[in-house]
Every structure is written in structure tokens, then in C-alpha cells.
Amino acid sequence: DTGVSQDPRHKITKRGQNVTFRCDPISEHNRLYWYRQTLGQGPEFLTYFQNEAQLEKSRLLSDRFSAERPKGSFSTLEIQRTEQGDSAMYLCASSRHDLLSYEQYFGPGTRLTVT
């Protein structure tokens, strides 16, 4: 399978704990996005990487959130001191840096439940 993969698929954690999610994009894609989706809503943009550089962060991304993409390959999203409001589906997407190609390929998501 050469699609976008995310790990874990599900995570249950207690409030105050730290969690880390991983995303492996499609190998030839140099753009990587993180989105968050809550029930009944569309995905909301969190942050964007082009290769290893983090070029944009949403104001939704508080200082408890940090994302990295070392060597421009896989990416991690860490949430520190989780709160119940962080419960959501975290989606990763990748795309080619190509003027003719704008579609994004999404992974299956990581569903986070904070108790």
C-alpha cells in the first residue's frame, strides 16, 4: 500500500498526559498537512510542511501542540498536557509540489479520546 499511513489509529489518554502521532506520507510527496476534525465538522487546518520546513501554523495550534518533519519524510504531531477539548480525529495529508496538482491524499486518521 503506497498511500498515507497514520499511527496509531486510536488513542485513549487521560487528561494531562502527552501523546504523539505519526504520519507517513506518500513517498514522492514533499508537502504534508495536519488537520483536526470533530464530529459533524469538516477538517480544520493545523499546520503545513514543505519538505522539512514548517511553513504555516494555524492559530488553532496552541503552544501545547508541536509538529516536526525531520528529513522531510514522516511527520509527528505531539500534544502536551492533553485536555478534553483535544478529543478529535487528527488527519494527515500529503500532496505533490506541482502547479498542476493540488489534490491532497489523506491518511485514515488518528482518533484521540481524552478522558
Partner 1 sequence: SQKIEQNSEALNIQEGKTATLTCNYTNYSPAYLQWYRQDPGRGPVFLLLIRENEKEKRKERLKVTFDTTLKQSLFHITASQPADSATYLCALDGGATNKLIFGTGTLLAVQP
76 burial level (CB within 10 Å; 0-12, 13-18, 19+): middle
Give the other-Cβ count within 10 Å of 44's Cβ. 14
Each residue 8-47 as x (binds partner 1 by CB under 8 A) or -, in order, gives -----------------------x-x-x----xxxxxx--
Range 49-108, binding partner 1 (CB under 8 A): 50, 55-56, 91, 93, 95, 102-108
CA 8 to chain centre: 12
- Shortest spacing between CB 75 and partner 1, in angstroms: 15
- Shortest spacing between CB 2 and partner 1, in angstroms: 15
Contact between 6 and 64 under an 8 Å Cβ cutoff? The reply is no
- Shortest spacing between CB 94 and partner 1, in angstroms: 11
Measured CA to CA, the distance from residue 85 to residue 107 in angstroms comes to 22
Q: Which residues would be at the binding site for partner 1 (CB under 8 A)? A: 4, 31, 33, 35, 40-45, 48, 50, 55-56, 91, 93, 95, 102-109, 111
